[in-house]
Homo-oligomer: A and B are copies of this chain.
Amino acid sequence: MDSAQFRKAAHAAIDEIINYYDTIGERRVVSEVEPGYLRKILPDGPPQEGEKWEDIQKDIEAKIMPGLTHWQHPNFMAWFPASSTYPGMLGELYSSAFTTAAFNWLCSPAVTELETVVLDWLAKLLNLPASFLSSGEGGGVVQGSASEAIVTVMVAARDKYLRESTAHLEGAEREIAIAEKRGRLVALGSEMAHSSTQKAALIAGTRFRAIPAGLEDNFGLTGKNFREIVDQCLLEGLEPFYLTASLGTTATCAVDNFGEIAEVLRDHPAIWVHVDAAYAGAALVCEEYQQLTHYMDNFDSFDMNMHKWLLTNFDASCLFVKRRRHLIDALSVTPSYLRNEFSDSGLVTDYRDWQIPLGRRFRALKIWFVMRTYGVEGLKNHIRNTVKLGELFCSMIQSRPDLFKVLTPPAFALTVLCVVPHSKSPASASVPQPKAAREAYSNSFTPDATSQALIDSNLLTKQVYEAVNSRAEIFVTGVVVKGTYAIRVVSANPKAEEKYIRRAFEILVEVAEEVRNQVGGKGMEPVRET
């Protein structure tokens, strides 16, 4: 493909992409292909001779589109969004044009330096303490995902703990002590923390223990529960070295009690605390959320994904650490072919030592383009608009207490709801609610709900969830939160608008009424929690 052919091909691609974005709402939000659909329609191998772009491009609409679930569809309300925006795409386009392995500064100084600059910008926007800026002992690095960031900091935490807790020993004695401690290390996270903490512990080769986080605390981790598990681990001879604290859990966007966690750390200063703000961290660009960073200086690391709610294309997981040397101590190995006078001088950052992979993409470009195209006000407006849509949606749900219950108060543009069985049934309005939700949204809450009532609600909610998704006008996620089946509806999509949220409510009402009338709460299979 020469330059002229590329120009033509790229213009055709741009046209197709624009058309896709302009008409995305007309497509079925979730793909309905059967597993294995693509192999059946593709040849067994690549062509011997090259093909023309026209022929390749045709296959995008014909063969790829049917297999896409459209995350940018305004009716995509599942999981958390994966933002895509035009300036983000331009960033990816230039990034691919400037391809470099970028494992050290000299590979392309701009890749490293722009990343340092825009992450300092972001740290300030998010109201992180100055200790997380590159001008101090900390700094930011773009990772591929929040889960990768958790592995990275957990490895750093593990090695820091092993190093510091054996600092009084030497030689073989120290080596033996470290080997013994490895088998006793335990990483912690609330039972509501994202599963990537558990996976990170698998990768780092340590134990993992989940800390209870109850309905009564709005599913946020309390200091009391944290302390109890730490004490219990110590009693069992285990050594807790790491905690994931969540700013916005996956299931309900719960926020852990950072003040209480910081209090516990006074007695257990060796525990590394990582704040996983993967989705909800984006809200920190708005002043009204910034009190959430009040205790951040007590913690070791913080991560948020601009690629979820902050209008930047996947991947842009922004990890900040308070002491960059902890990452470098754990992850640096520098052979001769990676040495150069700049790295040796210590004047430059070699981000390969801040991450698991060696090579890396020029991801800072899209962050820079997005920040400049939207401006700070544009970013804030997006957060505020979508939060408002979430509150609107929740208020609509609240307007039908005969049909729905809100499980937790609406948070960060997420609403978590359950369907309530017919009012004649004893299960009516029996979905348990946390304290905060009870106060703000109380309507005929029944604290002594029987477990049968919960089972009824669970079965009904699951059926409604499945019926809504199989109608495929909107796409939402089902979740089991401590035994309660619920539906998550997220209004944080870049294309989110009031009309779509209102329509989502209508659909939920229609489907809930339909399902409830059909089944009457009978003959449903039990919900499996895993």
Contact = CB atoms under 8 A, between A and B. Distances in A.
Contacts of A337: 79, 250-251, 477-479, 488
Contact of A373 (B51, B108, B178): B51
24 contacts: A3-B21, A3-B86, A6-B90, A9-B90, A31-B108, A39-B117, A45-B121, A45-B124, A45-B376, A47-B375, A64-B114, A69-B100, A69-B107, A71-B99, A71-B101, A89-B96, A92-B92, A146-B359, A148-B357, A176-B183, A179-B182, A195-B338, A203-B331, A205-B205
A472 B88 CA distance: 33
B116 A347 contact: no
A281 to B, nearest CB: 15
A135 to B, nearest CB: 10
A147 B358 contact: yes
A245 interface: no
Question: How many copies of this kind of chain does the complex include?
Answer: 2
Interface in A478-494: 478-480, 488
Contacts of A100: 68-69, 71, 82, 314
Contact of A196 (B56, B204, B358): B358
A86 B6 contact: yes
Contacts of A33: 109-110
A477 B195 CA distance: 42
A226 to B, nearest CB: 21
Contacts of A372: 46-47, 50-51, 56
A351 to B, nearest CB: 13
A97 B88 CA distance: 9
A519 to B, nearest CB: 19
Chain A, interface residues (CB within 8 Å), range: 35 or more
A94 B18 CA distance: 11
Interface in A349-374: 356-361, 365, 368-369, 371-374
Given A17-B97, A99-B313, 20 more contacts: A1-B373, A13-B90, A35-B109, A38-B114, A39-B116, A49-B378, A68-B98, A69-B100, A71-B108, A92-B92, A92-B93, A92-B95, A100-B314, A144-B144, A145-B357, A145-B360, A147-B356, A183-B183, A195-B335, A315-B359
Contact of A84 (B39, B46, B96, B374): B96
A178 B375 CA distance: 53
A89 B84 contact: no
A170 interface: no
A87 B1 contact: yes
Interface in A169-224: 176, 178-180, 182-184, 195-196, 198-199, 202-206
A155 B121 contact: no
Nearest to A158: B205
A84 B110 contact: no
Given A179-B182, A376-B46, A93 B361 contact: no
Most chain B CB neighbours (cut-off 10 Å) among A37, A337, A345, A368: A337
A72 interface: yes
A364 to B, nearest CB: 10
A105 interface: yes
Interface string A111-129: 1011011100100110000
A330 interface: yes
A7 B13 contact: no
Given A110-B31, A375-B51, A376-B46, A93 B358 contact: no
A329 to B, nearest CB: 10
A442 B17 CA distance: 58
B376 A48 contact: yes
A346 to B, nearest CB: 10
Contacts of A22: 3
A48 B109 CA distance: 27
A369 B12 CA distance: 15
Contacts of A31: 106, 108-110
